[in-house]
Amino acid sequence: MQVVLHSGAHFTDKNKLFKSLSKNTNLLAEVGTLVPSPRTYRRQIRDILDDDDGLAIAPMAKTQMMQDMTGGQNVDRIILSNSNFFGVPRGAVRHNCFYPNAGGRLAEFAEIFRGEEIEIFLAIRNPATFLPALVDGSPEDSLDIVTGGSVPLSLRWSEAILRIREAVPSAPLTVWCNEDTPLIWEEILREMGGLELTAEIAGAHDLLQEIMSPDGLARFEAYLKSHPGLSEMQKRRVIAAFLDKFALEDALEEELDLPGWTEELIDALTEAYDEDVFQIERIPGVTLITP
């Protein structure tokens, strides 16, 4: 069986992928894919990983967890989603690294699901917006405290991804930039669900509903109806054009106001991130979804 783990990152998905995938239960069932309720696995996996003796009882715990998740159904692919899998937000950045515990957690996860085919899905985000989001979501108001004194310009997602690949080298890893998500939402849903590239899916415009005006969304959907057969690339260009005209500015604005941050630092972080994404695309075993 294929076990798909969507592991965040924090402040990217906000559970939207799970909700949109859950709208396609029947379609996913046709290809043997199941999206179980998070209550059937999130706490259970966390407890096993956090228990010093947890892995010793993993086979027994896995059997019960599988029964709870599937309800006894025969499935070929199961999708698990948990942005806290690598840890809570306050531990997302330490020692100049993103998610220093990612490799260890995934190695133990692979032990729990020994014998299954594991796939990992991960969204990444520009440190220029990710770090302020960490501070905003923390009771602390100091970036230095929130990140354990890490240097922002030293952070590289590629370093975390290399650790993930080393920990679970047999597990394919699919990555995308959070900034691109509105343009590639349908592809992410299809890839995660194991669906054909042309499959008609419910929830295809869930993300656009949050960032596009109602009038703009109505015009966009009308345009799609009047132009059937658009390729994925053509549709993305259409989305970009409509967002350019009808995007809700408040929904797209991101807080970058941290004490001591300058425009020069934000530009440097963004430039380093762009180069980092270029490097990620070249890591063996990694698929980068791009617009």
- DSSP result, 53-114: TGGGGHHHHHHHHHHHHHTT---SEEEEE-TTTT--GGGSEETTEE-TTHHHHHHHHHHHTT
Which token pair is 273?
């991130």
Give the residue carrying structure tokens 């594991």. Answer: 118
Q: Is the pLDDT reported for residue 257 higher than 90?
A: no
C-alpha angle 172/178/97, rounded to 5°?
Answer: 70
- Per the CB < 8 A criterion, the answer to whether 49 and 92 are in contact is no
Residue 208: inside a domain: no
**Total structural domains within the chain:** 1
Do strands 97-98 and 93-94 pair parallel, antiparallel, or not at all (unpaired)? antiparallel
**Share above pLDDT 90 across residues of the chain, in percent, rounded to a whole number:** 85
Residue 246: inside a domain: no
- What pLDDT score does 181 carry? 96
- What pLDDT score does 172 carry? 98
* Max Cα–Cα distance, the chain, nearest Å: 59
Residue 247: inside a domain: no
Provide the pLDDT confidence category of residue 254 given band limits of 50, 70 and 90: confident
- Write down the mean pLDDT value for the chain: 94
Phi, psi at 87, each rounded to 5°: 130, 170
Supply the range of the domain harboring residue 84: 2-201+255-289
Provide the pLDDT confidence category of residue 51 given band limits of 50, 70 and 90: confident
- What pLDDT score does 60 carry? 83
CA atoms lying within 13 Å on the CB side of residue 196: 6
Mean pLDDT of 37-53: 91
Residue 127: inside a domain: yes
Q: Is the pLDDT reported for residue 251 higher than 80?
A: no
Residue 155: inside a domain: yes
Q: Is the pLDDT reported for residue 72 higher than 90?
A: no
Mean pLDDT of 99-122: 96
Residue 179: inside a domain: yes
pTM: 0.94
Strand partners, 42: none
Q: Is the pLDDT reported for residue 238 higher than 80?
A: yes
14: domain CATH number is 3.40.50
- What pLDDT score does 288 carry? 98
Residue 281: inside a domain: yes
Mean pLDDT of 103-119: 95
Residue 225: inside a domain: no
Angle between helices 181-193 and 232-246 (to 10 degrees): 140
